[in-house]
Structures are given as C-alpha cells and as structure tokens.
Structure 1
Amino acid sequence: MEVENMSIVLMLLPAIAWGILPLAVARIKGKPINQIFGTAVGTLIVSIVVFLIIRPNISIMNFVLAALAGGFWIIGQLGQYNAYRSIGVSQTMPISTGLQLIGTSFIGVLIFGEWASVNAKIFGVIGILLLIVGISLTAKKDNGRQANKQTGTLMMLVLTTVGFLVYNSIPRAMTSSGLAIFLPESVGMVIAVLLYIIFTKQPQVLREKASWQSLLAGFIFSIAAITYILSVRDNGVNSAFVVSQLSVVLSTVGGMVFLHEAKSRHELILTIIGLILIVGGAIITTIF
C-alpha cells in the first residue's frame, strides 16, 4: 500500500510543480532574462546535488547531446517567460502546452515511427484536432482586446516552441536517460543563458536581485523534472505524461485566481472548454 501511495504521489508532483512554476515566476519582479537565468542556475545547483548522490555513468557523447537539449530548452522557456508578461500565464500555458503536444506528436510519428497501426493513426489525428481546437479557444479574445500584442506573442510562442521540441526529442535518441542526463542538461541551460546574456550585452543581469530570487523557479522546475523521471519509472511513460499535463489546468486557473488575470465571462467559458479539449487531446494522443 505504501508503494502504491508513493507511486501516486510521484505521479501528481510533476503536475503540481510544473503548474506552480509559471505562478512563481510571474510573481518575481524582474525581466524574463532575470527569470531564465535564475531558473537555469537553480536547476544546475539541484542537478549537482543529485549527481553527487546517485553518481550516474554517462558517456561524453551523451553528455554533449544532453547539454545541447538543455540549451534548446532555454529557447522554449524564454519564449514562455516573455509571453507571461505580454498576455499572462492563464493564456500562455494552454497555448504553449498545446503547441508542444502537437509538435511532439508529429515528431513521434515522422522520426520515431509512432502511431504504426491504423487505430493509432485515427486516434492520433483526433487528438491533434482536439488540441488545435483547444488552443484556438484558449487564445480567443473578445474583439478589440490586445489583438496586436496577442498576435505577436502567439507567433513568438510558435517559433520558440521549437526549442521545447528539440529538448524533448534529443533524449529519445540517446542511450542514457533519466537522472543521468539531468546534470548535463542543466549545464547546457546555464551555458545557453550566459551566451544569451553576452550576445544581448546584459551583464548587469548577473548582479540583479531578481536574477537570484529566480533560483526558486529552478528549484521548482527541478522537483518537477526529478519526480517526473521517477514517475515514468514507477508508473510508465503514458500514465506519467498524461497526469503531468494537468499542470496546464493548475497554472491557468492559478493565473486567474492568484495573479488576478482578468477574463470576460465569454473568454472564461472558452478557456475552460479549451483546457478540457487540450487535456483530452493529450490523453488520446498518448494512450491510444
């Protein structure tokens, strides 16, 4: 019974932590570059501790590939952090999550040969359609409300989602996985952030208070990542992944409740319907 309870806890923790992450980041008074720097460094700190505890074996090639994946994660996460400021957490997360699910599904089919059977293809297409409709509904704004800002932000999310897709795809082609690649991924994250700071000429970021306050975001992300890896081990990929997607519900509702992000009654109804469709699409594309 205790083992079963622990498996359930491990299944729920990633959803809770990933759901809380956007809310914690949005509460930090800083720019997206401060937030992404703190997230990367905080993740590196936790990953070093984990590495020293479990001492995993990993080849140099896998270390480099994992670091590259971490670097691409920064692209996706920086896009999210910028969107939080522009259109809010409650609108960003359903859109970003839906885009990632659609992209990951296509990569799975085209590169990794998933959806091999006819039934899998049928359910997969249905799931993708649900995701597209869900994204469209959550992105819907009443006429005249921040239309130009929203269009630009949506385009940015589409482009930066490529970073998340590469981050999710590289480990699938590696012989090492799980906690073994957690440290090299975080090393890649920090290197990518430092390169971004250098190329954008923002060295002051390293000294700003908001950057170091954002370490909390890195700790929260690490909890989500570690517990997700353990949940996959205990519950299987499908169950762990589907439950983790509930994070989008938590972050969206949290954005409206705790961050006081305003929505009209019409927008709220569309957002709720969109969330249901996104979660449903995630279940169908994963389970079937």
Structure 2
Amino acid sequence: MNIILMLLPAVAWGILPLAVERINGRPVNQIFGTAVGTLLVSFIVYAVIHPTISLASFILAAFAGGFWIIGQLGQYTAYHEIGVSQTMPISTGLQLIGTSLIGVFLFGEWASSNAKIFGVIGILLLIIGISLTAVHDRKMQQSKNSSQTKTLIMLFLTTFGFLVYNAIPKAMATSGLAIFLPESVGMVIAVLIYISATHQPKVLREKASWQSLLAGIIFSFAAITYILSVRDNGVNSAFVVSQLSVVISTIGGMVFLHEKKSHRELSFTLIGLFLIVIGAITTTII
C-alpha cells in the first residue's frame, strides 16, 4: 500500500499537464479553473478532517498559494509556447535546483561534507539534464529560436513562485493537510488579482475556465496523496518518487499531445530526463 501511495502523486502530477492541454483554453482559463477546483476540494478536505491552524499560519499558507499561481501560470504559458515535453523537464529541474539551494542557505541542510559533495553533484546533474532537454535542431527558424528563448526566460523567472511556495511551509510549525485550505484560498485570491490587473473579467464566464476545474481536482489529488505519502514513507522517499511525474508528463506530451521531436532531440531529452531523476535522488537522499 505504501508503494502505491508513493506512486499516486507522480501519476497525478504527470497527467496534470496532459489534461490541461486537452482543454481548449488559454493559460488564464487554465489557472483560474485549477485554483477554483483546488479550493472546492480543500473545502471537502476541511469538512472531513477539521484541521486546526492559527491565523498567522493561515496567512502565511495563503501567501504560499498565491506564489504558486505565479509559478503555475508560467508553466501553463510555456505549455502553449514550447510544449509540455520541453516545459516539464526544464521547470522541474529548475525547481529542484532552487529548492535544494534554499534548503542549504535558509534551513541549514547538507550540513556534512559528504552531503555538500553529493548535493553539488546532484545540482550539476540537474543542470546538464535541463540543458539536454532544451536541445533543438539547428534547422529551426531564427524567429522560433527567439520565441523559445523568451519563453525559457519567462519560465526561469516564474519558477521563483514555486520556490516560495515550497519554502514557506518549511518555516511553519503547521503543515500537511492543515494548510491545504489556506493555500487554495491564496491561489484563488491571486488568480482574481491577476484577472483584474490584466482586465480579463470575461475569463470568469468562459467555458474553458470551468472545464479547467478538472485540473484543480487532479492537482488536489496529487497534493493530498503526496502529504499522506510523506507521513507514511518519509519526506525523502515520497519526494524522489514524486519526481517521476516529469517522466510521465514529458513522454505523455510526445505520445498523447503529438509533440514532435527529431531523433536527435528525442535522444537528448531522454538522457536529460534520466539525469534529472538521478539528480533529484542525489540531492534528496543525502
């Protein structure tokens, strides 16, 4: 049962990008639906377990959810621009590198010399893996190369949102399912602020926005099963296995979304995926 519980988050997070891209909508539709869907599930979770949380922790968790929107919106935008099969390994690798460095500098992780050595090796593997998955044939047009570069810069910058989302719970006394509701409240507030700031009120009425509730349900399932897996299997095991989601989403993008890659690109992508998974293991189990 514990093995199944470890695999469920990876499967859910792996199919999330595929489900999102099957919905005929824009990133703003997708992020709205994801946030609202997550909020609805969080109400159910709260009604079942009745967790207790202080006002200060509630506010901090809500801020974490708001920053998650920044990262996820960047990811959804990249799906449209460069495809799921290229976005996910790059985004996952950047998150792993950033989260590892935050753990070292803010929370004193990798205290021993061996931990530092393996940690640096893991980060180098992640960097190499990311670089390989970003390889494209030179025959691409210059305009496409320019567009890809802009998208990768955007993805790099918005990853900051994911890093804050992952870091805040580490600094809190309260964690687990207790912060699920306040995080989802922060998600919805952040999405509504974004929609208002970008003058897109019609998003609230568009069919694609409400179809994207499915994405929120899938995300919630992944998040809940991950929290339960951490409880039963420990942080390291649960985290490392959850990173297999990048393999599912990348290969799924090519198979189910028909994202085309040349033989050379495919070879580099598969090698890069392997290095990213090994890098994740190396930076976590030390």
CA distance in structure 2 between the partners assigned to 1:162 and 1:139 by the alignment? 20
Alignment partner of 1:27 is 2:59: no
Distance across 2 between alignment mates of 1:25 and 1:141:
24
Which residue in 2 is equivalent to 1:77? 72
1:216-255, Cα deviation, whole Å (9 max, x unpaired): 0000000000000000000000000000000000000000
Query: Which residue pairs with 2:85 in the alignment?
Result: 90
Task: Answer yes or no: is 1:168 the counterpart of 2:174.
Answer: no
> Partner of 2:274 in structure 1?
276
Work out whether 1:110 is the aligned partner of 2:105. yes
Deviation at 1:144, TM superposition (A): 3.8
Whichever residue aligns with residue 131 of structure 1, its letter is: L
Q: 2:4 aligns with which of 1, 9, 15?
A: 9
Q: 2:152 maps to what in 1? A: 154
Q: Is the partner of 2:110 in helix, strand or coil?
A: coil
Equivalent position of 1:180 in the other structure: 178
Partner amino acid, structure 2, of 1:140: V
**Structure 2 residue ranges without an equivalent (≥5):** none
Write out aligned runs for 1:53-72 (5 A).
53-72=48-67
Matched, 1:195 2:193: yes
* RMSD (Å) for aligned C-alpha atoms: 0.5
1:239 corresponds to: 237
Q: Which residue, 113, 116, 125 being the options, matches 2:120? A: 125
How far apart are the structure 2 equivalents of 1:111 and 1:144? 44
User: Deviation at 1:9?
Assistant: 1.3
% same residue: 77
Please state how far the C-alpha of 1:94 moved relative to its aligned partner.
Answer: 0.1
- Provide the secondary structure at the position in 1 that maps to 2:107: coil
User: Are 2:37 and 1:39 equivalent residues in the alignment?
Assistant: no
1:108-153 CA distance string (max 9 Å, x none): 0000000000000000000000000000000111114221111011
Letter in structure 1 aligned against 2:103: G
Deviates more, 1:144-153 or 1:36-45: 144-153
- Give the alignment partner of residue 254 of structure 1, picking from 228, 236, 252: 252
Give the match's secondary structure for 2:4: helix
Q: Quick one: distance in 1 between partners of 2:150 and 2:101? A: 24
**Per-residue deviation, residues 141-197 of structure 1 (Å, max 9, x unmatched):** 111422111101110011000000000000000010000000000000000000000
Q: Secondary structure at the match of 1:111?
A: helix
**TM-score, normalised on structure 2?**
0.98
Structure 1 spans left out of the alignment, 5+ residues: 1-5
Question: Runs of 4+ in structure 1 displaced over 4 angstroms?
Answer: none
Structure 1: distance between partners of 2:280 and 2:62? 27
* Inter-partner Cα distance in structure 1 for 2:139 and 2:148: 11
Distance 2:259 2:36 in 1: 29
- Aligned mates of 2:184, 2:4 — CA distance in 1: 25
Q: Which residue number corresponds to residue 284 of structure 2?
A: 286
Aligned equivalent of 1:266: 264
Greater CA deviation, 136-145 or 222-231? 136-145
Residue matched to 2:135: 140
**Partners of 1:22 and 1:272 in 2: CA distance:** 18
Alignment-derived partner of residue 215 in structure 2: 217
Post-superposition offset of 1:7: 1.1
